[in-house]
Amino acid sequence: MELFYRKYGQGPSLIIVHGLYGSSDNWAGIARALGKHFEVYVVDQRNHGRSPHSSEHNYDLMKNDLYEFVEKHSIGKAIFLGHSMGGKSVMFFAAAHPERVNGLIVVDIAPKSYKLSAAAMKKTIDHETILRSMAEVDFSLVHSRGEVDRALAINIGLERIRLFLMKNLERDEHNGFRWKINIETLMKCLDSILSGMNERDFEQGGEITGFPVLFIKGANSNYILDSDLPLIKTIFPYSEFAVIPGAGHWLHVEQPGLLVETILGFMLD
């Protein structure tokens, strides 16, 4: 699949991969800042942003999309930075193609499956409710962003989440609204999106080494727990960890300056 992308700066290659509901546009400010030191590519993953839609959505496909991307753009090796679902994508890519990785930065996600923890996380981010609420917006009845917001607010109480989701609104050929992301496929494939890496694949010498690895957690987020550290260390035994204060799961929106500082401190040290 040929992914849409934005490009910034010059230097060693760095590829940024957004999370669920995100797009390359959400990372433009971060990319411009990092572009002072790197040649930054920010991709739209399949079923998101301006990349093609597909009836399937899983990490095997998304890691293959990234491989096709580096091949098409003749990128021999790159630093890969992924947030949430994008963090899983770059972890799967690193496991399959470690020879193409100069560094790995995983933002607020662990390699575990989130299927069992989804119920416990519903107080903060309930993906089933989010996707269902987006699907239920009747665009024949709404004529402004405010009306879309009110429709989402029936089930999504946090304004910051609704504002983030509404970055996926675009005008259709009749000047009405529609979602840029492929809601139908994402709903169908939510179990695959919540899935994780198989720890057994990385035991007894199968661990991933050979390049620096950094996991960055939002201090107010529950996506990476202390109980996840053994799994992370099994797969990435030399990984380092950083915490961004005053940020939840969408730390690139809440603390962009601190995130850039943390990334540069790790990669340029």
Span 176-227, pLDDT tens digits: 999 999 999 999 999 999 999 999 999 888 899 999 999 999 999 999 999 9
CATH architecture under which domain 5-113+196-267 falls: 3-Layer(aba) Sandwich (3.40)
What would the pLDDT profile of 99-142 be if each residue is shown by its tens digit? 999 999 999 999 999 987 655 555 556 899 999 999 999 999 99
- The answer on pLDDT for 20 being more than 90 is yes
Active-site pick, 97, 117, 184, 199? 184
> Is residue 249 among the annotated active site residues?
yes
Of residues 149, 181, 153, the one with CA closest to residue 166: 149
SS3 60: helix
Whole-prediction pTM: 0.95
How many angstroms separate the CA atoms of 189 and 259, rounded? Answer: 30
Of the two residues 253 and 38, the one the predictor is more confident about is: 38
> Is residue 184 among the annotated active site residues?
yes
> Is residue 128 among the annotated active site residues?
no
Active-site pick, 23, 84, 133, 221? 84
Cβ-contact 90, 81 below 8 angstroms:
yes
| b/e sequence 132-150, b meaning 16+ C-beta within 10 Å | ebbeebebeebeeeeebbe
Point out the least confidently predicted range of 47-56, 73-82, 119-128, 143-152. Answer: 119-128
Q: Which pLDDT does position 126 carry in this prediction?
A: 85
How many angstroms separate the CA atoms of 269 and 62, rounded? Answer: 30
All CATH 3.40.50.1820 domain ranges in the chain, comma separated: 5-113+196-267
Q: Which pLDDT does position 258 carry in this prediction?
A: 98
Q: How far apart are the first and last CA of the chain?
A: 35
Q: Which pLDDT does position 158 carry in this prediction?
A: 87
**Mean predicted lDDT score pLDDT of the chain:** 94
